[in-house]
Amino acid sequence: MYHKILLKLSGEAFSGIGERGFAPQRLQYLVDELKKVIDMGASLGIVVGGGNHFRGSELKELHPLYADQIGMLGTVINALYLKSALDRQGIRSVVYSNIVELPGVYPIRYDSLHQNIESGVVALFGGGTSNPLFTTDSAAALRAVEMGADLLIKATKVDGIYSRDPKIHPDAKRYDRLSFSEAIRLNLTVMDIGAFSICQRNGIPIHVLDFFQADNLLKAVLEEHIGTLVCPDSLKPTRL
């Protein structure tokens, strides 16, 4: 079992696949899946995306810096929304972001972050890396290092990493395991190269899975055979 996990959620975890805004049934499903992991005693940090509100690529007339800043604010909204839902379930959490100053949103400080993580408080990270032009994948890798995670889980709507888009290419191959070097060499687009590189340098495996399949998150934490595991090059990939 992994004990300290950084979970990267897309905005679709809040809205449903292809939808916008918030869907109460999706939020309940999200909280239920998180609670299964928390009840196992795992420490959890969560980086949230904001695509259910806004994607910078959709408004070409905006300068990329402004578009990214708007998107970063959307991730803070999602973090606060998730905190409210966790509060209702009696699950302690704290929202971290370095891009806004709001009551109940705290700047990321190494000492307080680790104190909260070690005491079972869920860390909710909004605002990406705090800098535009960086993806939330890179933010997830960065926060995984900061919290000392032993696994980064990327929650997606597909059941792992494929050689090609399986929706377009029915013969696409799904990988059970990959090394970081293989993932970078194959130019796999499930995560950006920067995120792969950060995790590679710090020895943090990445598990890519279908979050919309119930219990997959728990199965990944328990090291069960689902999705795709991307392993540090220095380790023989024995898991899965």
Given this model, what pLDDT does residue 237 score?
45
| Under 8 Å between Cβ of 76 and 124 | no
Indicate whether 204 pLDDT > 60: yes
Indicate whether 240 pLDDT > 70: no
Indicate whether 238 pLDDT > 50: no
Structure-model confidence comparison of residues 140 and 12, the more confident one? 140
Given this model, what pLDDT does residue 21 score?
87
Given this model, what pLDDT does residue 165 score?
86
Longest Cα–Cα distance of the chain, Å, equals: 51
Given this model, what pLDDT does residue 135 score?
92
Helix axes 64-88, 24-39, angle to 10 degrees: 70
Residues 151-159: what's their mean pLDDT?
Answer: 96
Residues 186-201: what's their mean pLDDT?
Answer: 90
pLDDT tier at 167, thresholds 50, 70, 90: confident
Which residues fall within 8 angstroms of residue 201, CB to CB, at 6 or more apart? none
Question: Using CA atoms, how far apart are residues 186 and 188, in angstroms rounded to an integer?
Answer: 5
Looking at every residue in the chain, the average pLDDT score rounds to 92
Given this model, what pLDDT does residue 151 score?
98
pLDDT tier at 56, thresholds 50, 70, 90: low
Domains with residue ranges and CATH for the chain? 4-231 (3.40.1160.10)
Question: Using CA atoms, how far apart are residues 5 and 28, in angstroms rounded to an integer?
Answer: 21
Indicate whether 13 pLDDT > 80: yes
- pLDDT tens-digit profile of 97-144? 999 989 999 999 999 999 999 999 999 999 999 999 899 999 999 999
Global pTM value: 0.93
- Ranges 13-22, 109-118, 163-172, most confident: 109-118
